[in-house]
Amino acid sequence: MRAGFMMTNAVELRLGKRAALNALSGNLPAAAQYFNLFIFNCFMKVLRLGGVVFQKRYNSDKSLLRWLLLTFINIVNLLKSTNFIHEISNSRMKAKILVIDDEESLCEILQFNLIKEGFQVDTAYSAEEALELNLDQYDLFLCDIMMGELSGFDFAERVRSIPALENKPIIFCSALGDEDDKVNGLNIGADDYVTKPFVISEVVARVRAVLRRAERAAAAAVPGGELPDYMEPDITYRGLRIDPNQKICYLNGEELALTPTEFDILTFFLTHRNRIYSREEIITKVWGDDRVVTTRAIDTNLTRLRGKIGDYGANIITRPGFGYGFKETH
List the chain pLDDT tens, one digit each, 330 residues: 444 444 445 666 776 777 776 666 556 656 666 666 666 666 566 555 554 444 444 444 556 556 655 655 565 555 544 444 444 434 344 789 999 999 998 999 999 989 888 889 999 999 999 999 999 999 999 999 998 889 999 999 899 888 888 888 999 998 887 788 888 888 877 888 888 888 888 899 889 888 887 776 666 555 554 555 556 788 899 889 998 888 899 998 888 999 988 999 999 999 999 999 999 899 888 887 666 777 788 889 999 999 999 999 999 999 999 999 999 986
Query: CA 38: distance to chain centroid?
Result: 30
189, 142, 140, 199: CA torsion to nearest 10:
-110
142 phi and psi angles, rounded to 5 deg: -110, 110
Note the pLDDT of residue 84.
45
CB 101 within 8 A of CB 172: no
Report the candidate in 211, 15, 17, 11 with the shortest Cα–Cα distance to residue 109: 17
CB 311 within 8 A of CB 321: no
Contacts with 318 (C-beta within 8 Å, 6 or more apart), sequence order = 324
Helix (H, G, I), strand (E, B) or coil at 244: coil
Superfamily holding 96-220: Response regulator (3.40.50.2300)
Q: Is the dihedral of CA 48, 52, 58, 62 positive or negative?
A: negative
Please tell me the distance from the alpha carbon of residue 199 to that of residue 290, in angstroms, as a whole number: 13
Do 235-326 and 96-220 have the same topology in CATH?
no
Note the pLDDT of residue 25.
58
Note the pLDDT of residue 117.
84
CB 324 within 8 A of CB 265: no
Alpha carbon distances (Å) from 179 to 182, 200, 259: 5, 22, 9
Helix (H, G, I), strand (E, B) or coil at 318: strand
Note the pLDDT of residue 245.
83
How many beta carbons lie within 10 A of that of residue 144, not counting itself?
24
**ω into 197 cis (within 30 of 0):** yes
Report the candidate in 179, 180, 181, 160 with the shortest Cα–Cα distance to residue 170: 160
Class of domain 235-326 (CATH, top level): mainly alpha
Domain ranges of the chain: 2-89, 96-220, 235-326
2 by Cβ neighbours in 10 Å (0-12 / 13-18 / 19+) ranks as exposed
Note the pLDDT of residue 83.
46
Q: What's the whole-model pTM score? A: 0.45
Q: How are strands ordered across the β-sheet holding 170-174? A: 120-124, 96-100, 140-143, 170-174, 192-195
